Amino acid sequence: MEFKTGKTLLQLCKDNDLPISEAMLLREMEISQLGREEIFNKMSHSWDIMKNSARDALKGNLKSMGGLIGGEAVKLTGRRLSGEASACGQLVSKAISYAMGVLEVNSSMGLIVAAPTAGSSGVIPGTFLALQEEYRFTDEQMVMALFTAGAIGYLITFNATIAGAEGGCQAEVGSASAMAAAAVTELLGGSQEACLQAATSAISNLLGLVCDPIGGLVEAPCQQRNAIGVSNAMICAEIALSGIRNVVPFDEAVDVMYRVGKALPGELRETALGGMAAAPSACTLCGLCN
């Protein structure tokens, strides 16, 4: 049940009449030599942590280690519940509040799931939890969707990178957004090919995104980029579900992302020496160079 490219994954799914989620679950069973229930329960545990991390920030009183973020999820939720006109709609507003909240939990040393990294840990929980609440998906459906996301994350990790220090934020938030986009597409009834189309769009839309954490902390601008990752995932799922195709296939998009990441200057790959991290105001906040 092994696959190392998107093309191979699609063929495997076609030959065995499987959704991507099921193919990934069977792969995990084969590799780990564990039973289906045990593998599912391990993923279910991750889902529980994700839900808790998305909601914990709404309780307030979280203080990040660097003091750069805190309280954003509460503010977003307050505006959404106020009845004021929304610039992006209730679903997306809820999703970005959850996503940004996870970064608050992470930066205050709370428990999160690095999916695929701590810096991008809000994208999948934010997207998934908002959709679950909107469409009443069961926890079992959400756990299976995590296997879909996992398949995309595995392919990106195997063929490129998810590390900001190696590929910039496109490798972190971009990968998380691609994972979420594919999972949402399957959840809403899209084909296996549509899932990869959504992931391709997500990668393409965030191509070249730099990693420039202010003060070297996973706080700003990381938190708001998770909100972008959520929005991008939902947009790309909608595009794919509408039958719109990409000119470049998934495997080539992953390779392009890897090459673009390698081409980024070192200052723009998690060193906090360039980008927003090098802005005068950011340097003042950081104080490390003073």
Which pLDDT does position 1 carry in this prediction?
83
pLDDT at 176 over 80: yes
Average pLDDT on 164-192 reads 98
Higher pLDDT, 151 or 62: 151
pLDDT at 289 over 80: no
Which pLDDT does position 100 carry in this prediction?
98
220/13 Cα distance (integer angstroms): 40
Token pair 């503010």 is found at: 75
**pTM higher than 0.95, yes or no?**
yes
Average pLDDT on 58-68 reads 91
| pLDDT averaged over every residue in the chain | 97
The share of the chain scoring above pLDDT 90, in percent, equals 96
